[in-house]
Amino acid sequence: MDKHNTQARDGHGSHGGSLKSYVIGFLFSIVLTIIPLVVVMNDLLSKTATIAVILVMAVLQFLVQLLFFMHIRDEEKPRFNLMALIFGLVILVTIVAGSIWIMTYNAVAT
């Protein structure tokens, strides 16, 4: 089965995915957008909890796009695309978290 998929993709040079998986991904992404909106606009949670919830929703949204739309799982064996992505994310987290950490005590008083 796996080989069959690889073959089909090689043969047409296209990515996998069906309309069903796109529709599921789309519905997920809508829901994952509405949840943080509702939480923020109605002040449902404390500030820290709200930030945690909306960040988790954003990361899940990223995963939905990656799995359902960008077909990262369909890539064949030496998964260079995925490896490059992980490498990029490591740099991303280092830059963002490192900047926040370094600059925390430099922030203007509120």
What are the residues binding other proteins (CB under 8 A)? 3-4, 6-8, 10-15, 17-19, 22, 25-26, 29-30, 33, 36-37, 40-41, 47, 50-51, 54-55, 57-58, 61-62, 65-66, 69-70, 76-78, 80-81, 84-85, 87-89, 91-92, 95-96, 98-100, 103, 106-108, 110
- Compute the least distance from the CB of residue 73 to other proteins, in Å: 14
> Helix and strand tally (H, E) in the chain?
4, 0
- Compute the least distance from the CB of residue 53 to other proteins, in Å: 10
Nearest-angstrom CA–CA distance, 100 and 61: 23
Please check whether residue 64 is in contact with residue 32, taking contact to mean a CB–CB distance below 8 angstroms.
yes
Nearest-angstrom CA–CA distance, 69 and 45: 31
- Compute the least distance from the CB of residue 19 to other proteins, in Å: 6
- Compute the least distance from the CB of residue 50 to other proteins, in Å: 6
Nearest-angstrom CA–CA distance, 96 and 83: 20
- For other proteins, which is the closer residue by CB, 73 or 76? 76
Nearest-angstrom CA–CA distance, 102 and 81: 31
